[in-house]
Amino acid sequence: MTPLDKKQAEAYMKRFPLPDVFSFDITPYLEVVCFETDDMIMREGERPSALYFLTEGRAKLFLTHDNGRISLINFLEAPCFLGEMELLDSGREANGVKAITACICYAIDMTKCKKLLLSDNMFLKYLCVFLSNKATQNTNHYSRNQSYPLSARLAKFILSTSYKGCYRERHTEVAEFLGVSYRHLLYVIADFVKKGILSKSKQGYYIEDEKELRKIGGM
């Protein structure tokens, strides 16, 4: 994580203002921070000291089980909050959040303004709407998993998780997230490679035909 200096932060806040959802001046409690690809924004098992508002970039939310298995929970795109559940539940430890692309966030210091946030009706109303929309999106995701063929869902997934044309998510995690068998997932990926839509490399899979991938994904 790299904080922007004061002048850079002020210029950024003018270009990308934080939503006007606070009844008090939030600026003394926030800074603008940058995360590079694969940086951890929130670490599993830790209680975050900041509430983040993602303004640019994409990240993934994941959970590591006791047996070491990792489950993808969701994919996060700007604009959105990160750490809102930990704010509302003081005993809750964070799930992991990792940057897929370079990310820029507003980091609100919860150690200094948590009481103000939790007593701010304006902010809490906005947060309720945000959480409601998030729940609806999750419901739609699980509904799509039952309604569309894997090729369509995988095409859309690859486009949403790739960075600079490279897709490199773990097959086991993706299979679980999409609700399919590992073998079925590999079969569809191999078919994409055979058709020239993807090409395999040491780094992962490169998108060779984005137009066709979008067509398959209905995008």
Please, is 121 exposed, middle or buried when counting C-beta atoms within 10 Å of its C-beta (0-12, 13-18, 19+)? exposed
Handedness of CA 172, 176, 181, 187 (dihedral sign): negative
- Compute the distance between CA of residue 213 and CA of residue 18 in angstroms, rounded to an integer: 34
| Helices (runs of H) and strands (runs of E) counted in the chain | 8, 12
Q: How confident is the model at residue 139 (pLDDT cuts 50, 70, 90)?
A: confident
Ranges in the chain annotated CATH 1.10.10.10: 148-217
- Compute the distance between CA of residue 215 and CA of residue 203 in angstroms, rounded to an integer: 25
CATH of 2-143, one of 1.10.10.60, 1.10.357.10, 3.40.50.10890, 2.60.120.10: 2.60.120.10
Mean predicted confidence (pLDDT) in 179-189: 93
Ranges in the chain annotated CATH 2.60.120.10: 2-143
More confident residue, 196 or 133: 196
Q: How confident is the model at residue 89 (pLDDT cuts 50, 70, 90)?
A: confident
Measured at the CA of 166, the angle between CA 65 and CA 98, to 5 degrees, comes to: 35
Whether pTM > 0.95 for this model: the answer is no
Class of domain 148-217: mainly alpha
> Which residue, among 86, 8, 12, 25, has the nearest Cα to 56 in the 3D structure?
12
pLDDT at 14 over 70: yes
pLDDT 10s digits, 65-74: 878 788 888 8
